[in-house]
Amino acid sequence: MISFEFPIVERVRILLRLEELFRRLTHFSSADGADEHHVALQTLFDMAELGARGDLKSELIQDLERQRYALEALRDNPAIAEGALEAVLGEIESAMTRQLEFTGKFGHELRDNEWLMNIKQRTAIAGGACQFDLPSYYFWQKQSAEVRRADLQRWSAPLLATRDAVGVLLKLLRDSGKSNTFTARHGAFQQMSGGKVVHLIRITLDASLGLVPEVSANKYAVNVRFIEPTTHSARSRAATADIPFTLAFCKL
């Protein structure tokens, strides 16, 4: 099975992008090669760029507070497992505490580092990180993997509080959706939303079908069309068979 996620609102789009960047940072930082560490550093630059838009810290705290308030109202509900509820509330409280302890805007430590910003500026140019462009960066790349990894961990440490908050919110978001099975007749499906608030749409189908969904949604309806992806120059073809899939509407 393969699952696809489609954010409907901008704040969820940012959360998903940050999640992917944190995943990429962890993957490439844990490697030993200088090329992998170069990608890890570029990922840090992407994260700082993304997080600089708006007040990410305040938005995360507000979302966490809303979730805490909603979950605390369930404490006396006999249908709710008290242990699981308290565990989730503990995760929210921990994420909020770490956000409140963090000072400044997301990624400001990176932006205040002149050496890193010089690298960021040069890497924006195609092939701009050659040794003659950035001799000091070339020297850094020639250090041991342990030295480079320690630097990457030091530069990324102030961002980890945001990683935790993003992880908590996305888990709550994904867990909020109930999956239902549908069939896309001749590769297409439409469902009226009835004014339901939706922040994320999740679609799961059999990977062996070789299809990917295209989704368009508004406050009135959700439209899904399945296509046969291609890596060639030819245009992707729309599926014409009946496609079984599961659909979940998620919201924070």
What span, in angstroms and rounded, lies between the C-alpha atoms of 103 and 110? 14
51 or 130: which carries more pLDDT confidence? 130
Note the pLDDT of residue 58: 86
Same domain flag for 102 and 189: no
The single-letter DSSP state of residue 248 is: E
Note the pLDDT of residue 115: 92
Q: Per-residue confidence at 62, pLDDT binned at 50, 70, 90?
A: very high
Same domain flag for 78 and 151: yes
Give the residue carrying structure tokens 């068979």. Answer: 241
Read off the pLDDT of residues 81-118 as tens digits, 9 standing for 90 and up: 888 888 888 999 999 888 888 777 777 888 889 999 99
Same domain flag for 159 and 182: no
CATH of the domain at 228: 2.60.440.10
184 alpha-carbon distance from chain centroid? 28
The average pLDDT across 2-25 equals: 94
Q: What is the mean pLDDT of the chain?
A: 89
> Quick one: tokens of 102?
């963090």
Q: Which of 171, 187, 217 is the last residue of a domain?
A: 171
Domain total for the chain?
A: 2
Read off the pLDDT of residues 181-240 as tens digits, 9 standing for 90 and up: 999 999 999 988 777 788 999 999 999 999 999 998 887 889 999 999 887 766 788 888
Q: Which of 171, 191, 210 is the last residue of a domain?
A: 171
Note the pLDDT of residue 44: 94
Same domain flag for 19 and 120: yes
The average pLDDT across 41-67 equals: 87
Which residue in 156, 159, 170, 177 sits closest to 14, CA to CA?
Answer: 170
Same domain flag for 166 and 233: no
Note the pLDDT of residue 83: 82
